Amino acid sequence: MTNESAATERVGRHLAMLARSFQHWTGRELLPGVPPGPELTSGVFAAPFVLVSHGTEPDPLLNYGNRTALKLWEMTWDELTRTPSRLTAEAPNREERARLLARVTRDGFIDNYSGVRISKTGRRFRIDQAIVWNLLTESGEPAGQAAKFDRWEFL
């Protein structure tokens, strides 16, 4: 197996977990009508909505962003997946972001989040009606959090 095919397989497993967790918490499909597998992987990556996730590290790193997320945050895949998720918000907004994530941890998901974020180049944007949910392994262990949204406005 090549490094590229191993990476594609890892991303596919990760997206299956995102989709499974999304359905667990919200009762909805991440990409309606598309089961986990190559179609979900390519469909979510090319989707017009933003999908990002981070892991469970003490300072969680982003571990997935689809094409729309990469464009919005003005990052490459390698840059995004080395970025602590807290850096997607400006310093004054990080405390509010931390409260949001604590609420998601407690409740499983929220579907009405709005807040200001910042791209790598300093471009600010407000996201609206984001769904943020906890990621769970197949055995139900915490695996991070994810966010999906399709409404944003540059400030």
pLDDT tens for residues 43-91? 999 999 999 999 999 999 999 999 999 999 999 999 999 999 999 988 7
pLDDT tens digit sequence for 78-118:
999 999 999 998 877 778 878 888 888 899 999 999 999 99
Quote the percentage of the chain above a pLDDT of 70: 96
Assess contact for 62 and 54: CB atoms under 8 A: yes
Tell the burial category of 42 from Cβ atoms under 10 Å away from its Cβ (0-12, 13-18, 19+): middle
The residue segments making up the domain with residue 149 are: 3-154
Paired strand residues for 146? 53, 133
Give the pLDDT score at 1: 54
Q: What is the DSSP letter of 85?
A: G
pLDDT value at position 130?
A: 96
Global pTM value:
0.92
CATH number at residue 13: 3.30.450.20
Domain count, the chain: 1
